[in-house]
Chain A
Amino acid sequence: MAIESDVLVVGGGISGVTSAVAAARNGADVRLISHKKTTLRQASGLVDGLGYVPGRSQSTDREGSPSQKRRDFREFRDNRSEYWGPLITPFDGIDSLPDGHPYSVLGADALRSGLSLFDDLVGDSYLGGHTEKNALVPTFGGTVKPTARYPRAAAAGIASDNRSMLVAGFRSFTDFDARMVADNLEAAGVPFEVTGAEIAFADLFPADAEVTRFAKALDHDERIDGTPARQALADAVSPHVGDAERVGFPALLGDDNADEVRAELEERLGAAVFEIPTGPPSLPGLRLEDRLYAALDAEGVKYETGCPVVGYETAAGTPSRVETVLVDRSGQEIPYSASAFVLATGGFVGKGLDSDRDRVFEPVFDCHVPQPPDRYDWFVDDAFGDHPYARFGVNPDATMRPLDADGDPEFTNLYAAGSAVGGADVAREKSASGVSLATGAVAGRAAAAAIDDLNLELGTTEI
């Protein structure tokens, strides 16, 4: 007997959670199945809406094979196709996006509703919802980037705030050098004084300790050489604070008790304290993941993680309708049936897209993924150029149903959301989570609506 629900969401990233909640709020009984938890572990925890839009003409920078020609990196920089930005609000740019972009397909209101759903789910742990404007936040690469929502822990770092800033780094934590970040921020023209200092605090931990190890020590205020960790950290930083009104750290200031850790540091340093998100493993990402999963519980969505969906079945006689998906639970394939399904398996990173030497494909339902036939046309020669691969994904209609090569829905009851959807270079646009939220909100709603349609349909056939 198959396990049943109205809507079954495949994939538990930000887009999966969003579609699950959207469907649940529209009255559906929802279940979510995910293989790994999410790529949020790698993500910065910032929620981007839209920060840059590509110029109308997208360049491919090569004809024929790549070659050995010696090309200076500056040549790439100088010829990089134009992206306009940073946009003051995400909504300024939507009209100028290319046709196949999910925001073009769904319209600005989809992003608005995705963002407001997000605001509702995460409560006061995130800021930015008070305005439609983008915030410019410092990045660990030493510049600023536009984002729509930011964790409270990052709030004091906003670049459109004139307070003087100290960036603190740890010698044994190699993601960035604080002095380099400070100098680069200055070079980016920020409207405040900024200095950097590298401190030895983290040297007290074993070499190559993970950020989670630091976070735990601060969470529990463990003693380090006899001194409580928070005090030890404050003591190490204080001599560098000077006139700075705010102090930025790599994002490792606690996990479960992060607010408390920040508050104590602020008191001890006499300055506001914020985090600069870094690379994987990313605490702000993990914290967001916790929030989202707590929200799933609150919304009554049942979920299972650790088990991949490995295939699907259609009902006899209706090949255009997905009846069940097969879930691999410790080697056994268990059928899960539902009236509607949401494909939220992510892109290449989440494994919602895969490829071999010949083609790119969507592994669960084998939905059509538009792509140039020649592998050498999947990329361009500038590492940050207009890579076709960065836009790969399924091609949806206005209700987020993936379309086949002829432009017809692959299945009548399958919807898609998040990075599994193509058409956007979310990295260069700074639109990743925004696309997940907008597509998730629409896909979830549409999936819930489809059950009503289905009931109607079944009702009529019975008579």
Chain B
Amino acid sequence: MPHSIVVIGGGATGTGTARDLAMRGFNVTLVERGNLTEGTTGRTHGHLHSGARYAVSDQESAVDCMQENRILRDIAGHCIEDTGGLFVQLEGDPDEYFEKKLEDCEECGIPTEVISGEEARRREPYLSANVERAIWVPDGAIDPFRLCVANAADAVDHGATVETHAEVVDVLVDDGSVTGVEIERHGPTYLGKGSEGDIETLQADYVVSATGAWAGQLAEMAGIELKMSISKGAMVVTNVRQLDTVINRCLPKGEGDTIIPHETTVLLGANDDPVDDPDNYPEEQREVDMMIDIAAEMVPVVADARMIRAYWGVRPLYDPDPRSTTDPGDVTRNYFILDHAERDSVEGFASVVGGKLTTYREMSESVADHVCEAFGVDATCRTHEKPLPGSTDPSALDDRMDEFDLRSPIARRSRQRLGDRAPEVLDIDGANPTICACEGVSRAEIQDAIGRVGANLNGVRLQTRASMGNCQGGFCTHRLGAELYLDHERGAARDEIDRLYQERWKGQRHTLWGEQLSQAMLNHMLHATTMNHDADPAVFDDEIDYGAYDSGVAAEGSHGD
């Protein structure tokens, strides 16, 4: 019997760990309180670091980033866009730092190329005239949603079980050893298992907490004190892609000075402010304004660009020596495996904290090594050489797209999203109309996602990007609801429409001016005026006396007056 391991946390680290352990033959159950990527992973900036950002201040992280950057290009090609990155020096930015950055990159093994301001503007015409020169580095953009899904899918293919909407409410400790966890379900899992309110116990020989910013809470459930140094950051989303290259400012202390192209948008971010509670911290106007103002110094057009939403994430940082750190921006980006047997005398339990999205695989490998060691299992890691599902040769699919009744820009987008799963997903009976026009998502993709995540439109969104474009779901939330109506419980579609509509509103609130405010009004008119979505009597259990209203009868036959 293989040892049973519970991995808590459905972010990059948790899904990566589940995959690694499952590949090494363990009996793995992954538990996540929401959808996959519900935590920080779904709220990152999506920067596939080359390490250049940390080359001066945090070389260990820089080296890790470069190494993982290379590996991810091999195993997760369909989650990465090879944009390259530029560190730009604006008029007045110190030369010494520019030179130091170059030197330190070289020391860390990060390839660089220095280009002139003109050359930088030739590559990215919207760059400011004040850019004097720039360092090119192998940065990229990474899609965390596809990455986690691919990791989880591969874990499942290796025998793991994934429990979504299952919150760990207790870590069970017996006589100094962790024996499992207690979960409370917030709804059925993506496979439709269980229902809201169910409490269940999952026994385990070992528990790995990959809960990032929440690691302190999980440790506390096992009676362990673990203080995280978490910090929030805001990111603002533009409606078009003004750039195809990652842009960084070449300054010693950068906050909010990175611009990342992502799908149809560009993401501006992110500041770095300490917070206490990862579930409850203020989202402030000044942060949104700051992201725009700082980005506009490098790329002036963003000052007047249409912003479609803003979102926040919390960094799961851990500071082994908090007394010597004075600035939150200086907390190391390194990761740590905290062995609670050694650290706190609680056996069978480890937390993996810190790190970056870029280094998730290495973190997973380390914690999996640690588990192997704990059981004396001799199994080597293969996650760096085995490609993730979907990543092999997406381009071979070009010729087959017509078969699936997809308009060509949509076909191209679907292919990018689906990688080598495209033929299987797009082969449906009957019509394949577009459901989300902003992001070009067709019925087949939506149906595939529903098959994977169940009656859960936020999950569908994360898998497909439906509702993530200009209109922020105004024109497709109801269409998405209609797509899951047939196969699910009565009322589920209506609730899911409401849930997604509220979720989309959450991010738009921060960019309500200009065209996005006009869009919000149009959405409001469509949903409240045309549909009466806000006052549906079925939702509010209102009894209506239908007989009291115009019955139309008098109108019959009275042609005109």
Contact = CB atoms under 8 A, between A and B. Distances in A.
A85 interface: yes
Contacts of A135: 549-550, 552
A216 interface: no
B547 A428 contact: no
Which of B280, B503, B514, B529 has the most C-beta atoms of chain A within 10 angstroms of its own C-beta? B529
Contact of A77 (B281, B282, B498, B527): B498
Interface string B273-296: 000001111111100010010000
Contacts of B397: none
B1 interface: no
A33 B54 CA distance: 59
A68 B280 contact: yes
Nearest to A432: B529
B341 interface: no
Nearest to B537: A188
Nearest to B283: A66
Interface stretch (A100-108, A168-176, A291-299, A326-334): A168-176
A43 to B, nearest CB: 7
Contact of A428 (B285, B479, B535, B555): B535
Contacts of A349: 518, 521-522, 525
Nearest to B279: A70
Contacts of A191: 546-547
Interface stretch (B215-223, B366-374, B488-496): B488-496
A356 B514 contact: yes
Given A69-B280, A131-B554, A145 B502 contact: no
A183 B490 contact: yes
Nearest to B496: A73
Interface stretch (B149-157, B258-266, B330-338, B427-435): B427-435
Interface string A342-371: 000001110100111100100000000000
Contacts of A383: 501-502, 504-505
B550 A128 contact: yes
A64 B286 CA distance: 13
Given A43-B530, A143-B538, A208-B407, A161 B552 contact: yes
B530 A279 contact: yes
Contacts of A277: 530
Contacts of B553: 161
A150 to B, nearest CB: 9
A143 B536 CA distance: 6
Contacts of A119: 561
Interface in B451-493: 475, 478-479, 481-483, 485-486, 490-491, 493
B73 interface: no
Most buried by B among A134, A187, A354: A187
A334 to B, nearest CB: 27
A360 B514 CA distance: 9
Contacts of B289: 357
Given A42-B525, A356-B513, A69 B478 contact: no
A180 B407 contact: no
B524 interface: yes
B517 interface: yes
B485 A179 contact: yes
B379 interface: no
A287 interface: no
Contacts of B285: 65, 374-376
Interface string A40-77: 00111010100010000000000011111111111011
Interface in B426-453: 430-435, 443
A119 to B, nearest CB: 7
Contacts of B485: 177, 179-180
A158 interface: yes
Contacts, number: 271
Contacts of B524: 387, 390, 427
A206 to B, nearest CB: 9
The residue in A134, A145, A171, A351 that gathers the most chain B C-beta atoms within 10 A of its C-beta is A145
B2 interface: no
Given A160-B551, A347-B521, A426-B529, A85 B535 contact: yes
B558 interface: yes
B560 interface: yes
Contact of B521 (A136, A171, A202, A348): A348
B528 interface: yes
Interface in B279-315: 279-285, 289, 292, 312, 314
A155 B561 contact: no
A226 B520 CA distance: 44
A68 B283 contact: yes
Contacts of A70: 279
Interface in A217-256: none
B48 to A, nearest CB: 25
B191 interface: no
Contacts of B284: 65
B533 interface: yes
Given A207-B405, A207-B407, A349-B525, A389 B517 contact: yes
Contact of B546 (A85, A143, A160, A427): A160
A448 interface: no
A287 B537 CA distance: 30
A422 to B, nearest CB: 12
A130 B529 contact: no
B198 interface: no
A172 B431 contact: yes
A370 to B, nearest CB: 16
Nearest to B499: A73
Nearest to A285: B530
Instruction: From B407, B485, B504, name the one whose CB has the most chain A CB atoms within 10 angstroms.
Output: B485
Interface of B: 232, 278-285, 289, 292, 312, 314, 405-407, 430-435, 443, 475, 478-479, 481-483, 485-486, 490-491, 493-495, 498-499, 501-506, 509-510, 512-514, 517-518, 520-522, 524-540, 543-544, 546-555, 558-561
11 contacts: A44-B530, A133-B550, A135-B550, A139-B532, A140-B478, A158-B551, A172-B431, A203-B430, A357-B513, A384-B527, A427-B528
Given A129-B561, A145-B532, 10 more contacts: A65-B285, A80-B534, A130-B555, A160-B547, A160-B548, A175-B482, A189-B537, A200-B431, A208-B433, A348-B522
> 5 tightest CB-CB pairs across the interface, nearest first?
A141-B531, A124-B560, A172-B431, A427-B528, A383-B505
Interface of A: 42-44, 46, 48, 52, 64-74, 76-77, 80, 83, 85-86, 88, 119, 123-124, 127-131, 133-136, 139-146, 155-156, 158-161, 171-177, 179-180, 183-184, 187-191, 200, 202-203, 207-208, 277-280, 347-349, 351, 354-357, 360, 374-376, 378-379, 381-384, 387, 389-390, 426-428, 430, 432
